[in-house]
Amino acid sequence: TLHIFSDTYKGDAGAIVSCQYVTKDTDFTDQDELAIDRWKTVYAVKLFYEDVFASTDIVVAISTDGGDTWPYSLSKTLGNGDESRKDATYHFIVTGQFFRFRASSGSASTTFKLLGMEVEYQDAGTHFTVA
């Protein structure tokens, strides 16, 4: 997970560790059951977070192959440490049928508390092959 609840338990053997949050594969059929056979285009990923640390680098990445590769990624430096709830939007143009999302912090010296994730997408239609 991406959040730490206690300063006492920040990692293995007292050392802070980098962390990531990865979703399961989704085709957005939880919102539209007919979307199962159609392709979609993701335009944005919005992270909702509690600002607990200043200048935290967070990378959002998208995989369309079940997490084998992460070819679409963007990084932003978030936060000023005022402990308020905020959001940050990462803009993409990624077309596929199935998507996996990852939010990660490679820093072991900052804290990030992820509260939620929202994805903006549009139906791209039925996939077909031209022979």
**73, 130 Cβ separation under 8 angstroms:** no
Q: What range does the domain containing 50 cover?
A: 7-29+37-122
CATH number of the domain to which 61 belongs? 2.60.120.260
Determine the Cα–Cα distance for residues 105 and 120; give it in Å rounded to an integer. 22
Does residue 12 lie in a domain region? yes
Among 3-7, 82-86, 120-124, the range scoring the smallest mean pLDDT is 3-7
Query: Structurally, how many domains does the chain consist of?
Result: 1
Residue with token string 């905020």: 86
**88, 73 Cβ separation under 8 angstroms:** no
Does residue 72 lie in a domain region? yes
Length of the chain: 131
What tens digit of pLDDT does each residue of 61-84 get? 999 999 999 999 999 999 898 989
Predicted pLDDT at 87:
96
Predicted pLDDT at 108:
73
The yes-or-no verdict on residue 11 having pLDDT over 80 is: no
Does residue 92 lie in a domain region? yes
On whether the pTM is more than 0.85, the answer is no
Does residue 73 lie in a domain region? yes
Does residue 90 lie in a domain region? yes
Does residue 130 lie in a domain region? no
Mean predicted lDDT score pLDDT of the chain: 86
What tens digit of pLDDT does each residue of 20-38 get? 899 999 999 888 888 888 8
Does residue 128 lie in a domain region? no
Determine the Cα–Cα distance for residues 76 and 44; give it in Å rounded to an integer. 14
Does residue 2 lie in a domain region? no
